[in-house]
Amino acid sequence: MDFSTPAHVRELVTRVEHFVRHEVIPVETLSGATEDGLPADVFHTLRAKAQAARLWAPQLPPELGGLGLSLSELVPVFEAAGRSLWGPVALNCAAPDEGNMHLLHLYATEEQKAQYLLPLAAGRVRSAFAMTEPPPGVGSDPSMLRTTARRDGDHWVIDGHKWWTTGADGAAFLLIMARTDANTAGQSGATIFIAPSETPGIEIVRRIPHMGGSTPGGHCEVRLHEVRLPASSVLGQVGAGFSLVQARLGPARLTHCMRWTGIAQRALEIATQYAAERSAFGKHLSEHQAVAWMLADSATELHAGRLMVSHAAWLLERGEKARRETSMTKVFVAEAVNRTLDRAIQICGGTGISRDLPLSEWYEAARAFRIYDGASEVHRMVIARDIIKQYGE
């Protein structure tokens, strides 16, 4: 591997950091002012400024209005954007839209791209991905998918119950995972459908109350009552849903890691500044070994996480599945980010748990990182299974 960063990526990282520092961070205090987090005018102004600054959608090819970066090139750029929870939103590279754009770019027909991908890439609409279901439906085990789609002439009729569908309230369309073959068990026989949100039968039941800050469209519970869609709504092929999900989730796990590393790095900087300026027991906090070692451990773990992200991205670019490596990276980075935020709060003491600093808000939001896109325990199971299989061979 070549660990150098290309000049055009270094230049872009500098511009993204400047944008986040001077445009995004100043409006963080408005977060939570509305149900979607930021006021609508602030949200749209940020996005317009990002487009004008030529920072828009770094993950998309130029023909879709993006910057055309490879997955490896995105690593430092997404981290720079992720220094604020609103940075990726401003640049149109936040979940779930970023992962949905990736999926549509890979598998959508030309007609589907014109109807769904182009307006999503331009930032005119938002999207949602509806796979997770309430118990006993699919959570960490995708084989438990209960939402069904039955063929009816030239149409499909979908019935089911989803939740934690991020961004569903106000989304222009949903990508819905449903089982299309009732006789096929396990991780097969499922299909992804593209459904305009105004399709009869799609009911946004509620935004699920949760720890952490607000997000555009919330995290929603959705019921599907005989949702009737034409055959042209199938994304990819009938029955290929799980393979499409893996194509989406592999890179998406890494982009989550990139963005959250940005927040963790900023938290480390806040804690370092506090420790260097705050005095207790006759010297600065940074001179106490207990505090100094917390800073050292956080810096070490973030460095290791960056290397893991870069390596996994490199493998995916080479056409490898990198299932073990992406799982390892997701577990390590998610837990390192949580530990870094926890240490930063501990170092900052009472100020750390106050809302005077953003640490407590990040701490609440980051806790879910160890659950979504595969809980840490599930990824450990995947890693262990692969190790045991390799040993047997």
Q: Which pLDDT score is estimated for 141? A: 86
Distance CA 62, CA 7 (A): 19
Q: Which pLDDT score is estimated for 142? A: 83
Query: Which CATH number does the domain 7-94 belong to among 1.10.540.10, 3.40.640.10, 3.10.450.50, 1.10.10.10?
Result: 1.10.540.10
Boundaries of every domain in the chain: 7-94, 127-235, 242-392
Q: Which pLDDT score is estimated for 247? A: 85
What is the pLDDT of the chain when averaged over all its residues?
A: 96
DSSP 29-40: GGTTSBTTBS-H
Say yes or no to pLDDT of 2 above 90.
Answer: no
Average pLDDT over residues 175-179: 97
Residue 96: asked if its preceding bond is cis (omega within 30°), the reply is yes
- Is-contact 202 167, C-beta < 8 A? no
- Is CATH 3.30.565.10 what the domain over 242-392 is classified as, yes or no? no
How many C-beta atoms surround the C-beta of residue 239 within 10 A? 16
Say yes or no to pLDDT of 185 above 90.
Answer: no
Distance CA 252, CA 265 (A): 20
The string of pLDDT tens digits covering residues 240-283 is 999 999 888 889 999 999 999 999 999 999 999 999 999 999 99
Question: How confident is residue 5, by pLDDT bands cut at 50, 70 and 90?
Answer: very high
Question: How confident is residue 183, by pLDDT bands cut at 50, 70 and 90?
Answer: confident
- Domain boundaries 127-235, corresponding CATH code: 2.40.110.10
